[in-house]
Amino acid sequence: MARGGPFDQERELPTEVLKQLRAQYHLDESILQQYYRSLENLFHGEFGPSFAYRGVSVSDILADALPISLALGFGALLLALLLGLPTGILSAWKKNTKTDASLRTLSSLLLALPNFVLAGLAISLFSFTLEWLPPAGSGGIRHQILPTLCLGLPFAAQIFRLARNEALSALQSAPTRTARAKGLPEAKVLQRHVFPRTLVPIVAFLGPATAGILTGSLVIEQVFALPGLGSHFVQSALNRDYTLSLGITVLYTALLGTLTFFADVLLARLDPRIQSLR
Amino acid sequence: MKRADALTLAFLLLLAGAALFLPWLSLPAPDTMELGDRLIPPQWTQHPILGTDSKGRDLFVRTLAGARISLWVGLLGSFVALLIGLPYGAISGLFGGRTDRFMMRLADFFESVPITILVLFLLSILGEYREELQGLGLSRLHIFFFAVGFLFWLPTARIARAEALRLRQALFVDAARSLGASRKEILVRHFFPNLLPASVVIMTLTIPRVILMEAFLSFLGLGVEPPGVSWGILAKEGLAAMNPLVQSWWLLAVPATALALTLICLNHWGDKISDSFRANT
């Protein structure tokens, strides 16, 4: 559908060279043959050679890039959970106080900024002005902090909202009132009656959050010059590197499918009512 | 909370007014370059109040010009989404039965596709056919509206369907039906007018998301193109201009602040309107 081919360049290649290249990448076969070949390779976990990086197979690129993106993505998700959940419960518990108001303002601020703007502001503050952290590139744990923060914070704000809403209704529910009437300490009330309920909407949000983190990483990896899947995905689209593009899409789909599946299973375990809705 | 309402509304009205009447304000054009005045930091009280960029363009004027495009995109993009989603949901809810099931499963199908990626793909393909589209009188911005409408019609359709299901039970719809009104008449005369409040809620909730989407796509180079100015473009330029040697934080901070303030105000009113709407039903 997109015009042009992977070997279109400013300088035209001699016909023989082009012919050989096409033969090497099996582009001279019929569409059906090519389709069958790539399908067969796919079932063997092979995506074929990259069109843009000569002599490198797509699997190699994926093997290099996946750990970087996994570390970034899971780091961001973990950060979002660890920040969003406790603050959400705290905010609901201290409803209509200064703490609640400031946390809510912060969350709406984080939700109102695109992540690349957040990244830019963070770089300009922590890297250029305070010179605490490196602005880009990959390396040790210090290189991971800013990208993880910038990718995770908007989701922390989302989780905060979900947790606050659920905790508010949990705090007003009959079991909580009974527990309080029986003289259960506030900490125990939060632990037994509020915390488990807030998990339900958050686990349900994990699927969409994973999808959001995948698209978010496209931008964040570019800004911080991390050689992860996101950067490769954008590059492959620009280079018409079909095999790499396909490989990353398959990997993304598999990741998203797996995580959504686990989220659904977990959800049914957390809330027995969901299981009985068969 | 009353003060917050007034403040956010005043900000939005002021911004919309300034954006609307920008061509009539006696300000320089947003692409006027004063090459002698490059990278002046914000002066706050005198001439380049928000500073200038690396080509000597006044950032205050550019931010207002950006508001023009960003607000317009937000408004029109969500209107397109409404135009697709509202009739879809209303028809699905009114007809019910097999039609309803089919239409909603179709919506499920669209929802299962990661639509952000689909829109990226759509925009990049349509970008290649730009000349042909220009022959038809369609610019990049039109394509963008279409893509955004395509992206956001689903939630609109679901809300509209829920409303339609509620209206179907209403006494006056029953009365109309018993008087022999056709489905088309019920749809046009009873459903659409009663879906208006829901539409307002949908619009206020969609506009901020569309504005964010525009920023995201402009950053990737698929949204508004220079010399066009939007907040996404300004933020992108600000990010690109950042380096440790030359201080230029305001190039990113100014559009980011404008964007954040606008979205916070819009979200505030969106929540408020949908809360009052929920209280009524």
- Taking alpha carbons only, the member of A94, A89, A266 closest to residue A160 is A89
Overall average pLDDT of the A95-110 stretch: 87
Q: How confident is the model at residue A83 (pLDDT cuts 50, 70, 90)?
A: very high
Q: Which residue has the tokens 């969003």?
A: A84
* Interchain CB contacts (distance < 8 Å): A and B: 79
Overall average pLDDT of the A180-200 stretch: 88
Q: Is the pLDDT of residue A87 over 90?
A: yes
Q: Judge whether A79 lies within some domain.
A: yes
Overall average pLDDT of the A99-113 stretch: 87
Q: Does A257 touch chain B (CB under 8 A)?
A: no
Task: Say whether A127 and B244 touch across the interface (CB within 8 A).
Answer: yes
Task: Say whether A123 and B267 touch across the interface (CB within 8 A).
Answer: no
Q: Is the pLDDT of residue B268 over 70?
A: yes
> Tell me, what CATH number does A109's domain have?
1.10.3720.10
Q: Is the pLDDT of residue B115 over 80?
A: no
Those residues with Cβ within 8 angstroms of residue A121's Cβ, 6 or more apart along the chain or in another chain: A113, B252, B253, B256
CATH 2.130.10.10 fits B45-251+263-279, yes or no: no
- Residue A118, min C-alpha distance to chain B (Å): 9
Q: Judge whether A7 lies within some domain.
A: no
Please answer whether residues A219 and A118 qualify as being in contact, where contact means their C-beta atoms are separated by less than 8 angstroms: no
Burial class (CB in 10 A: 0-12, 13-18, 19+), B198: buried
pLDDT computed for residue A77 by the predictor: 92
Q: Is the pLDDT of residue B124 over 70?
A: no
Helix, strand or coil, per DSSP, at residue A48 = coil
Q: Judge whether A29 lies within some domain.
A: no
Facing residue for A108 by CB, picked from B124, B249, B264: B264
Q: Which of A121-125, A173-177, B102-106, B241-245 is least confident? A: B241-245
What pTM did the predictor assign? 0.78
pLDDT computed for residue A86 by the predictor: 92
pLDDT computed for residue A7 by the predictor: 67
Q: Judge whether A212 lies within some domain.
A: yes
Q: How confident is the model at residue A156 (pLDDT cuts 50, 70, 90)?
A: very high
Mean confidence (pLDDT) of chain A = 82
Chain A residue with minimum CA distance to B250: A121
For A47-80, the pLDDT digits (tens) are: 777 777 777 788 888 888 888 888 889 999 999 9
C-alpha A144, offset from chain centre? 15
pLDDT computed for residue B26 by the predictor: 67
Q: How confident is the model at residue A119 (pLDDT cuts 50, 70, 90)?
A: confident
- Checking ipTM against 0.95, whether it exceeds it is no
pLDDT computed for residue A9 by the predictor: 63
Structural domain total, chain A: 1
Overall average pLDDT of the B103-131 stretch: 73
The contacts found for A267-275 with CB under 8 angstroms, 24 or more apart, are: A267/A200, A267/A203, A267/A204, A270/A196, A270/A199, A270/A200, A270/A203, A271/A200
Q: Does A110 touch chain B (CB under 8 A)?
A: no
d(CA B230, CA B234): 6
pLDDT computed for residue A207 by the predictor: 80
Q: How confident is the model at residue A1 (pLDDT cuts 50, 70, 90)?
A: very low
| Domain coordinates in residue numbering, chain B | 45-251+263-279
d(CA B8, CA A157): 21
Q: How confident is the model at residue B1 (pLDDT cuts 50, 70, 90)?
A: low
Q: Is the pLDDT of residue B11 over 80?
A: yes
What does each C-alpha distance from B152 to B27, B148, B213 come to in angstroms? Answer: 36, 6, 11
Q: Which residues of A touch B239 (CB under 8 A)?
A: 116-117, 119-120, 223
Q: How confident is the model at residue B66 (pLDDT cuts 50, 70, 90)?
A: confident
Mean confidence (pLDDT) of chain B = 80
Q: Which of A158-172, A240-254, B88-102, B160-174 is least confident? A: A240-254
Overall average pLDDT of the B5-31 stretch: 82
- Residue A133, domain extent: 66-277
Whether the ω angle into residue B227 lies within 30 degrees of 0, i.e. cis, is yes
Please answer whether residues B152 and B84 qualify as being in contact, where contact means their C-beta atoms are separated by less than 8 angstroms: no
Higher pLDDT, B231 or A6: B231
Overall average pLDDT of the A205-234 stretch: 84
